[in-house]
Amino acid sequence: MKTIAIAMQKGGVGKSTLTRSLAVAATESGLNVLALDMDAQQSTSQWASRRSAELPLVRFVTEIELPKVLKQAEEAGCDLVLIDTPPARSTEAPAAVEFADLVLVPCSPDIEAYEQLPRTERLARTTGKPAVAVLTLAQPNSRTEEEIAREIFQKLKLAMAPAVIHRFKVHRDASREGLSAQEMEPDSKAAQEIAALWDWVCAQLQMGTSAPVHKKKRIKG
Ligand SMILES: Nc1ncnc2c1ncn2[C@@H]1O[C@H](COP(=O)(O)OP(=O)(O)OP(=O)(O)O)[C@@H](O)[C@H]1O
Ligand SMILES: [Mg+2]
């Protein structure tokens, strides 16, 4: 079982949206997926309750419950756990990072997000966990934001995921329906970006080839 923590102190950078999109991508590629919501806002849990499909499984957990829930997930044959964490300084994000094989750090191309980035980078560095920045909410058809972000990540010695998640309305529309962008508009650019990021994550964690494919059905809303 692999565990991915999605962490970034800055609020509203797309942590929860990314957690759900990757959880759906992993489910569609046949993995047993558990998405854990550690944010008291419970936006990922609420997304799950708006959802008609049963998978991916989503559960709210506290920091105290986390070790036990991860152990249970592993024993139950879970392939991948994605942990959505709250913004701001919290005890949840460090707990999630401690158990993670990979830390994804979503970051929008805003000064406020860049200013918060060192704190999240430090959190991953002190635990020795591999951390990768994911540029989110970027302006479509503009490479300038991507170039600036790359420089900022480089200065922090933070690797950057090759797939950039641009700002597309379908992410918001899908959230309302309890879906992810790739379920709502499978042929969209947004869906392609999620697929590219998921492929890259799979390669990083050496997942995807060994897991049994038991579910390939696309979920309709
Ligand atoms: N790539 C995107 N394109 C357009 N809208 C997006 C994108 N990613 C996220 N959003 C929207 O931006 C808002 C914030 O996203 P989200 O809730 O995922 O951020 P967050 O980092 O989890 O926020 P918080 O820190 O409050 O938990 C939501 O309304 C979401 O639908
Ligand atoms: Mg969130």
Q: Return per-residue pLDDT of the chain as tens, 221 residues.
A: 999 999 999 999 999 999 999 999 999 999 999 999 999 999 999 999 999 999 999 999 999 999 999 999 999 999 999 999 999 989 999 999 999 999 999 999 999 999 999 999 999 999 999 999 999 999 998 899 999 999 999 999 999 999 999 999 999 999 999 999 999 999 999 999 999 999 999 999 998 644 444 444 444 43
User: How is the chain split into domains, by residue range?
Assistant: 2-204
Within 6 A (CB) of ligand 1 lie 11-17, 39, 41, 43, 87, 136-137, 165, 167-168, 171-172, 175
Q: Give the ranges where the chain is alpha helix by DSSP (H).
A: 15-28, 43-50, 66-75, 92-99, 111-127, 144-155, 169-176, 181-184, 189-204
Q: How far is the CA of 85 from the centre of ligand 2 (A)?
A: 7
Ligand 2 is an ion; residues with CB less than 5 A from it? 15-16
Whole-angstrom Cα distance, residue 181 to residue 179? 7
Contacts of 72 (CB under 8 A, 6+ apart): none
Q: Which pair of structure tokens corresponds to residue 145?
A: 């934001």
CATH assignment, 2-204? 3.40.50.300
> Which of 216, 219, 211 lies closest to 31, judged by CA?
211
Contacts of 12 (CB under 8 A, 6+ apart): 87, 108
Q: How far is the CA of 210 from the centre of ligand 2 (A)?
A: 31
Q: How many CB atoms lie under 10 A from the CB of residue 139?
A: 12
Structural Rg of the chain based on CA atoms: 16
Q: How far is the CA of 77 from the centre of ligand 1 (A)?
A: 30
Pocket test for ligand 1, best of 8, 17, 184 (most atoms within 8 A of CB): 17
Q: How far is the CA of 212 from the centre of ligand 1 (A)?
A: 31
Instruction: Give the pLDDT score at 89.
Output: 86
